Chains A and B, each alone.
Chain A
């Protein structure tokens, strides 16, 4: 059964240590849509803690890199490689190219969000030297299982939490407030459409919108064999509740799915059982 990778919202992760197998953090200015960002100094501290408690530490460097980021990226990769971090989630292929060029040993997680959708492309990247793929949240459970069957790449599947569904370099909220001379300094806003509310963050790197519902794939988690990790994302979930949820995933009790749904009232299954519309015509 898949191990649990927690994406925390706070520095203190001690409460999660009993249940999680791995943790994923962002790095300031080099990661997008992470609920918590740390500095390279803090990485050092966490590496120590993880080694002691036999947990794994993953770092997301998942923004689209621009030329001006490359120097910092290279320096970070060297440092993270030296620190023996357990894996880097990346979106931009610059990360892979630098790793190859410098012959770094740090494992890479191909994390191109919505593009990690088929086994052939995953195998291609595996052959290029990556170690894991973070599977798209827009494919079905059946497709995930097919991917599992057809590639020897280690897989990570998003199984719980709000899902990032839009990433932009544009400051969409700040622009709107400026345009209509409105004052508001919230770091989070919501876009309402009919009954649905989509969280939106507009920070230094631009805007990210999240799904209106929290993915809760508890039952699916129980049947996902040979998957390396599933991720549980704490974004916008109160810490106390999130801790209970991680514990329930740890306990692997089929009745917990219902309990989680009752606790949050805003869950769904995402695309795990629903295909998006696209018909392949016959050639």
Chain B
């Protein structure tokens, strides 16, 4: 039997943390009140962190906190106090790139330290250096192939974490300050304004415009290593990481759920083959193309995106199951996107086999019949003949 890796999911807030764990994450990573790389996210207060840790530990899952900002002088004085407060929250590790934070964490706390992908670690020597500093896990750069990762695992006795799914930086992490120069927002301090998704005109050496069918962009397609999960398990990667702390619960539940099934499938049966429909589910969820990127040596035009910023926001996610009454067969749903009577929908969840149905009966909280559900977070009831559970999600049926 192959050793089962950790499935590590992002969580932008407590609700998403709970969904990630319910849908099969072994660990979640979150941003604390300060010093993370998602300054525009809601992020967790210390109280939220404590509650999230308590929730995760109840299910024997772990919580890691990102402290991966590039420090400026003025933040140095905050670091020790902040790390001590995180330790009080009983988190399982911090994810760090700045060496001062590593040094202070070693000196003043017993926090476990994971090295962030911001450090862009790509080789054996660098891994050895960080191991002797006391780092217990390295999140490798996203530019590595399977063979390069394998060599590191063979030669350095340290936990290795790799991204398996989500958006990619077009640059080497840490080596892009386009955001600083074009929008004055600091990309290495949580302010990245994703300039790599902007359109530019490409000029030649004489500054004459080169006319392509579309404008020039640096944009990379998303990463998806679903097809390589077995390879990643075979070479002994410790943790499989999903990108996206700003993503919705629908995204997190869907992506985590799919990877959970595939990892469990390979762990339990070496002859397992995943359902190809999973690929459609993943693609549809993000509304962006995803490829294997550097893992399978594809550093070419197939990894680039030329659709500008035209991605349509995903409206597939219809609502959350809050409750189910097996006697009346009514499921209580919190609306997240518009739906109506006669829509073909699916309900899925960590313990619920996919339920497909046509919405025949919808009621409001006073049992009045509804034709459409169009108010954000409106609470309604729908008739569902199969049993569903809280934390199940409802989406439009597409396939």
Footprint of B on A, CB under 8 Å? Answer: 64-70, 92-94, 96-98, 112-115, 117-121, 124-125, 138-139, 143, 146-147, 150, 163, 165-173, 175-180, 182, 184, 186-193, 197-198, 207, 209, 211-212, 271, 274, 276-281, 283
Instruction: Give the residue name and chain of the A residue nearest to B150 (CB).
Output: A67
A280 to B70, CA, bound (A): 12
Instruction: Give the residue name and chain of the B residue nearest to A113 (CB).
Output: B175
Within 8 A of A (CB), among B90-148: 97-100, 103, 120, 122-126, 128-130, 141, 143-144, 148
Whether A138 lies near B186 (C-beta < 8 A) is yes
Looking at B176-184, B357-365, B391-399, the stretch in contact with chain A turns out to be: B176-184
Measured between beta carbons, the chain A residues less than 8 angstroms from B185 are 276-278
Contact among A67, A115, A119, A186 with B76 in the assembled complex (CB-CB below 8 Å)? A119
Whether B299 lies near A170 (C-beta < 8 A) is yes
Also in contact, A93 and B73, with CB within 8 A (given A113-B175, A121-B98, A191-B200): no
Whether A283 lies near B212 (C-beta < 8 A) is no
Footprint of A on B, CB under 8 Å? Answer: 33-35, 39, 70-76, 78, 81-82, 85, 97-100, 103, 120, 122-126, 128-130, 141, 143-144, 148, 151-152, 170-172, 174-178, 180-182, 184-186, 188-191, 198, 200-205, 207, 209-214, 216, 218, 220, 294, 299-301, 303-304, 306
Whether B129 lies near A93 (C-beta < 8 A) is yes
Whether B143 lies near A169 (C-beta < 8 A) is yes
Measured between beta carbons, the chain A residues less than 8 angstroms from B306 are 176, 179
Output the residue of B33, B34, B175, B201 with the most chain A CB within 10 A: B175
Also in contact, A124 and B175, with CB within 8 A (given A143-B72, A283-B78): no
Whether B174 lies near A176 (C-beta < 8 A) is no
Measured between beta carbons, the chain B residues less than 8 angstroms from A94 are 123-126, 129
19 contacts between A and B (CB under 8 A): A69-B123, A94-B124, A97-B128, A114-B175, A114-B180, A115-B98, A121-B100, A146-B73, A165-B177, A170-B170, A172-B304, A178-B301, A179-B212, A184-B210, A191-B203, A193-B201, A277-B184, A278-B186, A283-B33
Whether A64 lies near B141 (C-beta < 8 A) is yes
Also in contact, A176 and B304, with CB within 8 A (given A69-B123, A114-B174, A189-B202): yes
Measured between beta carbons, the chain A residues less than 8 angstroms from B170 are 166, 168, 170, 172
A125 to B100, CA, bound (A): 9
Whether B205 lies near A280 (C-beta < 8 A) is no
Whether A124 lies near B210 (C-beta < 8 A) is no
Whether A124 lies near B100 (C-beta < 8 A) is yes
A118 to B71, CA, bound (A): 6
Instruction: Give the residue name and chain of the B residue nearest to A96 (CB).
Output: B129
A40 to B377, CA, bound (A): 66
Measured between beta carbons, the chain B residues less than 8 angstroms from A274 are 184
Whether B202 lies near A283 (C-beta < 8 A) is no
Measured CB to CB, the closest approach of chain B to A113, in angstroms, equals 6
A212 to B186, CA, bound (A): 17
Q: A166-B171, A176-B212 are in contact. List 14 more A-B contacts (CB 8 A).
A: A67-B122, A92-B122, A92-B123, A92-B126, A112-B174, A117-B71, A143-B73, A166-B178, A167-B175, A175-B303, A176-B304, A192-B202, A271-B180, A283-B34
Whether A173 lies near B177 (C-beta < 8 A) is no
Whether A192 lies near B203 (C-beta < 8 A) is yes
A113 to B180, CA, bound (A): 13
Whether B78 lies near A186 (C-beta < 8 A) is no
Contact among B130, B178, B213, B301 with A175 in the assembled complex (CB-CB below 8 Å)? B301
Instruction: Give the residue name and chain of the A residue nearest to B188 (CB).
Output: A114
Also in contact, A67 and B212, with CB within 8 A (given A119-B76, A124-B99, A170-B220): no
Measured CB to CB, the closest approach of chain B to A65, in angstroms, equals 5
Whether B99 lies near A191 (C-beta < 8 A) is no
A188 to B204, CA, bound (A): 7
Also in contact, A193 and B198, with CB within 8 A (given A166-B175, A180-B212, A283-B78): yes
Whether B186 lies near A281 (C-beta < 8 A) is no
Measured CB to CB, the closest approach of chain B to A183, in angstroms, equals 9
Measured CB to CB, the closest approach of chain A to B78, in angstroms, equals 7
Instruction: Give the residue name and chain of the B residue nearest to A92 (CB).
Output: B126
Contact among A97, A182, A212, A280 with B75 in the assembled complex (CB-CB below 8 Å)? A280
